Amino acid sequence: MPKITRSLAIIIGIDRYSHIPKLKNAVLDANSVANVLQEKHNYQVLRLFDESATKEQFTKLLENLQNKKIELEGKLTQIEKSDRLLFYFAGHGFDQEAEDSEGATRSY
């Protein structure tokens, strides 16, 4: 296994949703994790919070990752075998097919 030469992180935090209840601390938590990784552990961090964490942005992120690339500081960067990549998500999850007792989509 190659020695780790660079640490990268994708940090996603979503408080505001259009179809399920708003959260209070997901973005705050995600930003705190990003800050610790960046300031104390020298990670290069891609932050996607609220409005920047759209379906289109996720699609672009997945396409980039399939091509072993990540956008950092506005530049597309090649992910190398010697890179460490951490993924962190804070937000709601929901099951489109599950409903609560009132018929609304169940969120977690």
Q: For each successive 10 residues of the chain (108 residues), what is the average pLDDT?
A: 91 87 90 98 96 91 96 93 96 64 55
Per-residue pLDDT at 85: 97
Per-residue pLDDT at 21: 77
The sign of the CA dihedral 60, 64, 66, 70 is negative
Token couple for 9: 């992180």
CB 7 within 8 A of CB 70: no
Distance (Å, rounded) from C-alpha 101 to C-alpha 81?
48
Rg (CA), the chain: 16
- Nearest by Cα to 4 from 68, 86, 89: 86
